Structure 1
Amino acid sequence: MNLFHRRLASVGFPALMLAVAGLVQAATAEDAGKSIDQMIEKTGTKMQEAKEALGEKAAKTGDYLDDAAITAKIKAEILGDPLLKVLQIHVTTTDGVVRLSGEVDSPQSIERATALAARVNQVKSVTSELVVKGVK
């Protein structure tokens, strides 16, 4: 049972129980009908709130997966480049913004790594905190 169904059950079942309890206490059929209508309306509202919350979480998860894919693509590009050493360059991505850090062998390595990262799809910007070994 996925999260949506569990939340639906956790909202729907108590609302149904309240509706039944309201029916028992209702003096007339008209009162019972009103109670059921109110419970259905409240349940619908709660279900919509749960759906919206799940949608937001799904969007955040999607963003995280996009960032992980961007990082993996950049690492693969660095690995395939003969001028760069993948173990020297750390790549992090947050909301499409890439940060490169570490110590590389030359200024050309900094330029090359930055250019490789910038051309990967979905990269919004690249910040380089790379430094040349021995130069501080």
Structure 2
Amino acid sequence: MSLLYKRLSLVILPAALLAVATPAPAGTAENAGKAIDETVEKTGAVMDSTKETLGEKAEQTGDYLGDAAVTAKIKAAILADPLLKVLQIHVTTTDGVVMLKGEVDSQQSIDRCTEIARSMKGVKSVDTTLLVVKGVS
């Protein structure tokens, strides 16, 4: 019997060692790798989306501040222009479109105000509802 035990141990022991030493099925590691890759992709997509949203908000804020700066520059230039003797001009800027409203003393004043507005950086177009009223100064 001892010979039988020896022979069985020679067959059983290597089989047992082989079973213990065999790594986990390849599918398990592959599944874990795929899950990690998917998570990284999803995280990257969320980060890209957040970055785009923040960029859009910053751009919108920049546009608003840009419009305010354009309006201020136009108002200052109109007030500083020696050819214009008017204080009744209202200037607004929205998305680079300047609107001039009010009363002036001549068509030349309308033309000059329009020219000043068009010359400013950031102005896309100029709309005017300026009216010539005699006696305005």
TM-score normalized by the length of structure 1: 0.66
Which amino acid in 1 is paired with 2:86? Answer: K
* Stretch deviating more after TM superposition (115-124 or 49-58): 115-124
Coordinate RMSD, CA, aligned: 2.3
Distance in 1, matches of 2:85 and 2:100, equals 13
Contact map agreement 1:78 1:84 (CA 8 A) in 2: no
**Residue aligning to 2:95:** 95
- Residue correspondences, number: 107
**Residue aligning to 2:15:** none
Which amino acid in 2 is paired with 1:85? Answer: V
In the TM superposition, residue 67 of structure 1 has moved relative to its aligned partner by: 1.4
In the TM superposition, residue 99 of structure 1 has moved relative to its aligned partner by: 0.9
In the TM superposition, residue 39 of structure 1 has moved relative to its aligned partner by: 1.9
For structure 1, the residue ranges without an aligned partner over 5 or more in a row are 1-27
- For the pair shown, the structure with the greater C-alpha radius of gyration is 2
In the TM superposition, residue 29 of structure 1 has moved relative to its aligned partner by: 5.8
**Residue aligning to 1:41:** 41
Which amino acid in 1 is paired with 2:113? Answer: A
In the TM superposition, residue 101 of structure 1 has moved relative to its aligned partner by: 0.5
Query: Could you say if the C-alpha distance between residues 116 and 65 of structure 1 is closer, same or farther in structure 2, counting changes exceeding 3 Å?
Result: same
Aligned partner of residue 84 in structure 1, secondary structure: coil
Aligned partner of residue 46 in structure 1, secondary structure: helix
Which amino acid in 2 is paired with 1:67? Answer: D
In the TM superposition, residue 31 of structure 1 has moved relative to its aligned partner by: 4.3
In the TM superposition, residue 77 of structure 1 has moved relative to its aligned partner by: 0.5
For structure 2, the residue ranges without an aligned partner over 5 or more in a row are 1-27
**Residue aligning to 1:119:** 119
User: Which whole-Å deviations, capped at 9, do the CAs of 1:2-41 have from their partners, x for residues lacking one?
Assistant: xxxxxxxxxxxxxxxxxxxxxxxxxx66544443332222
Which amino acid in 1 is paired with 2:126? Answer: V
Query: Could you say if the C-alpha distance between residues 125 and 84 of structure 1 is closer, same or farther in structure 2, counting changes exceeding 3 Å?
Result: farther
**Residue aligning to 1:84:** 85
Query: Could you say if the C-alpha distance between residues 77 and 102 of structure 1 is closer, same or farther in structure 2, counting changes exceeding 3 Å?
Result: same
Equivalent runs, 1:1-136 vs 2, <5 Å: 31-82=31-82, 83-86=84-87, 88-133=88-133
Aligned partner of residue 85 in structure 1, secondary structure: coil
Aligned partner of residue 100 in structure 1, secondary structure: strand
